[in-house]
Structure 1
Amino acid sequence: MAHLTTSVEYGIHCLMWLVGSDDVAMSSRELAELQGISPSFLAKIFPKLEKAGIVAASEGVRGGYRLGRPAAEISFLDVVDAIEGDKPLFDCQEVRGRCALFAGSPPEWASKGVCAIHAVMIQAEKAMRDSLSKQTLASVSANFVRKAPSSFSDDVSAWFSDRSSARTGRRDKSARDIPS
């Protein structure tokens, strides 16, 4: 987890739209359009999420992505590791052994054990990973649902239904028209 890129942010935002939509597969193109991001950018993220089992893909006209397991079982750490890989936050370069006073050969006391700076970074990374592991898509989605007006969920469902109908060539008569 050397650096959390925008891929993580966009990936999590798109996954949030999949929470609670088990009966409807959403295409990466639709998710990108909803988020206002490049479909080709998102198309690079979702295969990583699929490989990690976070999403499941289905092919065909009604194809798209669904969550691969319950939202309560998908932590933010799962998503970060799937997208960014399990890389360390800090890449220690053993600078402590390069002191000019050591003339190219550091004494044992200077290089023995874990570098004190590296130890702090390991501790910080552990705290961050622990925190990310405690936050799930379900818990954050629940916070969002409490914040958004109840009509917003209906608007989003109708928006996806309109696009799904366009993909399949049928119009769902119960879907409302939502301006794009």
Structure 2
Amino acid sequence: MKYSQATNYALHTMLYLVALPLGKTVGVQQLAELQGLSPTYLSKILTKLVKAGMIESTPGINGGYKLTRNKADLSFLEVIHAIEGTASLFHCDDGKDHQGCLIQGVMTHAEQQMEAYLKERKLVELVGQVGDVNALV
């Protein structure tokens, strides 16, 4: 299975924001430079994270993005769902009229286990492994 590149960037962005000191903001330009991508592309990802209620944008000279939620609560799964949506990764479409697709059952169970794991894993667990976030602000 494969997540989009946008999910990769969203997870990295959220990790940087979780690592920031409380109340600090960081601009889209800085976040984009850290990941080597265009601010325009990253802005689209940030918009999805704002809509999901994880971050907010503060305008002005000292503006930028910051968390809106308790950093200890932010899971990998929430970020993934904000970018990818919540649709199942697998859909059984064998073209036959079966009572149920046996393969779908196996795939659904595997997906549920993966989602349970990602829901339990919090971004804050990785903060100690992030470089010097003070260089951002």
Q: Percent identity?
A: 36
1:126 to 77, 87, 112: 112
**Using CA pairs below 8 Å that are at least 6 residues apart, which structure has the higher relative contact order?**
2
2:121 to 114, 135, 138: 135
The alignment partner of 1:65 has SS state of strand
Q: Deviations over 1:81-135 (max 9, x none)?
A: 0011111110221x161xxxxxxxx5xxxx12x2110101101110111111011
- Paired residue for 2:84? 84
Q: CA deviation at 1:160?
A: 2.3
- Paired residue for 1:4? 3
Q: CA deviation at 1:139?
A: 1.2
Measure the CA separation in 1 of the matches of 2:23 and 2:76.
23
Measure the CA separation in 2 of the matches of 1:68 and 1:23.
10
TM-score, with normalisation over the residues of structure 1? Answer: 0.70
Which runs of 5 or more structure 1 residues have no equivalent in the other structure? 98-105, 146-151, 162-180
Q: Deviations over 1:15-46 (max 9, x none)?
A: 11112422321111210111111211111100
Which runs of 5 or more structure 2 residues have no equivalent in the other structure? none
The alignment partner of 1:123 has SS state of helix
Over alpha carbons, which structure has the higher Rg?
1
The amino acid across from 1:64 in the alignment is G
Q: Is the 8 A contact 2:19 2:127 kept in 1?
A: no
Measure the CA separation in 2 of the matches of 1:122 and 1:96.
19
The alignment partner of 2:66 has SS state of strand
The amino acid across from 1:9 in the alignment is N
What CA RMSD, in Å, does the superposition of the two structures yield over aligned residues?
A: 1.7
Q: Is the 8 A contact 2:58 2:65 kept in 1?
A: yes
Report matched runs for 1:12-161 at 5 Å.
Answer: 12-21=11-20, 22-93=22-93, 95=94, 97=96, 111-112=98-99, 114-142=100-128, 144=129, 152-153=131-132, 156-157=133-134, 159-161=135-137
How many pairs align?
A: 136
Measure the CA separation in 1 of the matches of 2:126 and 2:5.
18
Q: Is the 8 A contact 2:29 2:39 kept in 1?
A: yes
